[in-house]
Chains A and B, each alone.
Chain A
Amino acid sequence: MDIGAIFENTMRGFIGEQFIFFALAAIGLNIHFGFTGLLNFGQAVFMAAGAYGLSMMVVTWGLNFWVGVFVGLVIFPFILAVILGAPTLRLRADYLAIVTIAAAEIFRIMVRSPTFDRWTGSSDGLGGFATDFYDLSPFDPSERYFFDLFIGNQMWVVLIGWIVLAMAAFACWLLIRSPWGRVVKAIREDEDAARSLGKNAYWYKMQALYIGGVFGAMGGMLRAIGTQSAQPDNFITDVTFFVWVALILGGAGKVLGPVIGAAVLYAILNFSDIVLRQGVESNNIPDSIMSGTQVGQVRFMLVGLGLVLLATFRPQGILGNKEEMALDDR
């Protein structure tokens, strides 16, 4: 057992880039579910919209990096929110759940399909769109930074990620204490009451879906930049559940809930990952029980189990309080 490596990996989960991507997506989901009560199970699609918005603009159409950032953060999520929201926001909550999962699957099938290869790069995805971003990096790519946790380019992504994350959390806080935030919370608590006060609930829900989607796209875009590729397999349906566990674990309906949830979740996942991997490599865990490939599947099981246990036993998460908790009182 290499305690140093275990500690390092766990820390990387706690503050590293994976945590940042998912915390951003979870902030978006918090606006959807925690504050407005929308059951969005397709956050992966909004993340993909950010990633592919950027990469397609730059790689497929040869446009400027910042144009790609604008399209990925503003235009793609807008189109998605309209497509997903228009048929479902007037209906009962679980229809949105079904439609958003279906949308995630539609996206996965279409992006992987060779038919659209010349735009999306099918299953290989797109790459080489982030050079403008890394050109700005003050860090030396061959050096290690921050207690040797991150190499140069990673450090740049993590630094920018933290700044974006702090701004996103602050924006979310401002948004929720604004009059707009009070309306969407009222819709979450009692849609009929909000409507009887003359608020157009459908319109507010659509706005919430879009705004939450923008945060999701931010997470997805940073992920694409961080891995320097936009691949369909990075945005499969199951990715959404990581975001959900992060949100519920931290506490839905709290501004810092998703951030803390994502940090704790990735610390746990990275910890279990490295411990199992070391066990497999040193043959402390025999190959008949677990192989190297199977280690990667354990984290999905943990996420599933976490979702079950949280929904059943602690729906308010770490930070939330039961009175304001959205998961259990409707």
Chain B
Amino acid sequence: MSVVQIGRSVVDPCHDQPSARRTYLIKLAMVALGVVTAVFAMVAPAAAHLPAQTDSESIPELRGTMRTVDEGGESIFVEGINLTITDASGAELGQAVTDADGEWVFELPEGGTYEVFLDEATLPDGVPLRNPDRNPLTVDVGNGASRTVLFPLGDAAVSTDTTIEIVQLTVDGIKLGLVIGMSAIGLSLIYGTTGLTNFAHGEMVTFGAMVAFLFNVTGVFGWTTSLIVAAILSFIVCGVAGGLFNAGVWRPLRRRGASLIAALVASLGFSILFRYMMLYQFGGRAKLYKDYQIQEKVDFGWFSIVPKDIFIIVFSVAVLIGIAIALQRTRAGKAMRAVSDNRDLAESSGIDVELVIKWVWVSGSALAGLGGVLFGLTESIGWEMGFRILLLMFAAVTLGGLGSAYGALLGSLIVGIFIQVSTIVIPTDMKNVGALLMLMLILLIRPDGLLGRSERIG
């Protein structure tokens, strides 16, 4: 009997009835899909859609948003800035003025090269251009294209003290790492117990954040509740969804003895299917929970932090310690680790492997959902959030050692801190690149991870 193939060692009760087996599988898959659809049908249709795709017939235009950032990090949009647009021959085409949202648009006769000059006299006092030498700006516009012109305003955030900055970023990194870790435990345990590299795990994170949004903001039949209750409900819904996902899809697949590669491809299919179903319902714009949106930062000297982030850190540490104790002390936890370690040995010593796998799916998915709520709370809720975190989870889990729950935790903390601290040298919009490059580097140097064992590698 092979350990690597999922389900090869499971006795198949209906092995000689392929058609009955197939009907059963289809039925269960339908039920699982139906449940997910039904939950999402309850979310009110998306109010905000993605901006319309640029039509090839549309008029080319220049646009931009003028904003500066106040001391608390909030955006302030600047009204009444004058911009002059000239074409390649130097002839003035006209002017644009920013509106109350700081936005300006200028329609062009055709694609080509244009120059945009910002009149610095119209800037408010104390808000200089960040790069005065980049004024006027020369831009190329394609036919029918909308081109965004950027004039960064205000001084770039320069920290006076690198030590303080590193402490601040480390605290942020610990928070990020804890959230990644909570979501990644399920990914690692599912891999450990079934061998499945589950690419749809990120969608469970998004699902969790969205279910909480449903209860907190959208409302179910007009009933909304506080975020804390919504988070608990989301935890339960995600656990049930994970259990159904296993029962409806993965268990039948294991029974049929489907190869791991086929299962991996199917999980990618589910990932993209669920992701776009959630985009369909939720809309493309990122949204926020109703509670705890704006909070005063508490200053601790070395670093400052908003109360909700303190709560997130304390709460996640408590949850993770709870998980560690459960894995170490309870029968179910020991059984999970045993199956993850060596499936055949666990089965021959009387552990019901399918039952353990079921509980791994339920608890892993519930934790992923909770991680999604916390991530939505610190940043925002969007349809792609889970997919973004999934790649960070893979980096974390690979670093810690695939299949090990503690490895997933350790790896997540390192990845979280690394991402945040690396913004000292890497531009913030590329901070995730560092973590993903680290993933490649680990595979080159120590592919079995920090806490993994080399036998797991092919």
Contact = CB atoms under 8 A, between A and B. Distances in A.
B443 A312 contact: no
B133 to A, nearest CB: 14
A69 B423 CA distance: 36
B457 A98 contact: no
Interface of B: 22, 25, 45-46, 49-50, 52-53, 140, 142, 145, 147-148, 150, 197, 199, 253, 258-266, 268-277, 279-280, 284, 387-388, 391, 394-395, 398, 427, 429-430, 432-433, 436-437, 439-441, 443-444, 447, 457-458
Most central of B22, B140, B443, B457 by chain A CB within 10 Å = B443
Interface string A226-251: 00110000000110010010001000
18 contacts: A86-B444, A87-B440, A88-B440, A91-B458, A94-B197, A103-B436, A105-B436, A115-B427, A127-B145, A229-B145, A241-B268, A248-B265, A288-B45, A294-B49, A298-B276, A300-B272, A304-B272, A304-B276
Interface stretch (A139-147, A195-203, A265-273, A322-330): A322-330
By size class, the interface of chain A is 35 or more
Contacts of B53: 293, 296
Contacts of A285: none
Contacts of A291: 49
B458 A93 contact: yes
B457 A92 contact: yes
Contacts of B279: 297
A310 B266 CA distance: 8
Interface string A290-308: 0111101110110111111
A309 B388 CA distance: 25
A323 B237 CA distance: 42
A102 B433 CA distance: 9
Contacts of A296: 53
B142 A99 contact: no
A92 B195 CA distance: 12
Given A102-B394, A297-B276, A297-B279, A95 B447 contact: yes
Contact of B150 (A112, A114, A229): A114
A34 interface: no
A320 interface: no
A300 B269 CA distance: 10
Given A88-B443, A106-B436, A115-B427, A300 B276 contact: yes
Given A124-B142, A328-B261, 5 more contacts: A94-B260, A106-B433, A128-B142, A237-B387, A307-B269
Most central of B53, B270, B280 by chain A CB within 10 Å = B280
A97 interface: yes
B146 to A, nearest CB: 8
A160 interface: no
B142 A115 contact: no
Nearest to B438: A102
B50 A308 contact: no
Contacts, number: 166
Nearest to B4: A92
A194 interface: no
A305 B273 contact: yes
B207 to A, nearest CB: 15
A101 B436 CA distance: 10
B64 to A, nearest CB: 12
B142 A92 contact: no
B195 to A, nearest CB: 9
Contacts of A300: 272, 275-276
A305 B394 CA distance: 24
Given A86-B444, A91-B443, A105-B432, A311 B49 contact: no
A248 B269 CA distance: 12
Most central of B52, B270, B430 by chain A CB within 10 Å = B430
Contacts of A175: none
Given A113-B429, A330-B261, A124 B268 contact: no
Contacts of A238: 272
In order of increasing CB-CB distance, the 4 nearest A-B pairs are A307-B269, A92-B458, A304-B273, A304-B272
B430 A94 contact: no
Nearest to A92: B458
Nearest to B49: A293
Nearest to B197: A94
A315 B262 contact: yes
Most central of A248, A297, A326 by chain B CB within 10 Å = A297
A115 B428 CA distance: 10
A12 B440 CA distance: 40
A39 interface: yes
B430 A115 contact: yes
A103 to B, nearest CB: 8
Contacts of A102: 391, 394-395, 436, 439-440
A98 B394 contact: yes
A193 interface: no
Contacts of A310: 265, 269
A110 interface: yes
B443 A328 contact: no
Interface in A2-50: 39, 41
Contacts of A293: 49-50, 52-53, 284
A171 interface: no
A237 B259 CA distance: 24
Nearest to B253: A312
A174 interface: no
B429 A115 contact: yes
A97 B432 contact: no
Contacts of A98: 197, 394, 398, 439
B269 A306 contact: yes
B266 to A, nearest CB: 4
A167 interface: no
A97 B197 contact: yes
A114 B439 CA distance: 24
A289 B44 CA distance: 11
A292 B28 CA distance: 32
Contact of B269 (A106, A115, A229, A305): A305
A176 B197 CA distance: 30
Contact of A308 (B259, B261, B269, B277): B269
Contacts of B259: 327-330
Given A106-B433, A114-B429, A229 B142 contact: yes
Nearest to A84: B440
B265 A327 contact: yes
B262 A312 contact: yes
A105 B391 contact: yes
A166 interface: no
Contacts of B436: 102-103, 105-106
Contacts of B272: 238, 241, 300-301, 303-304, 307
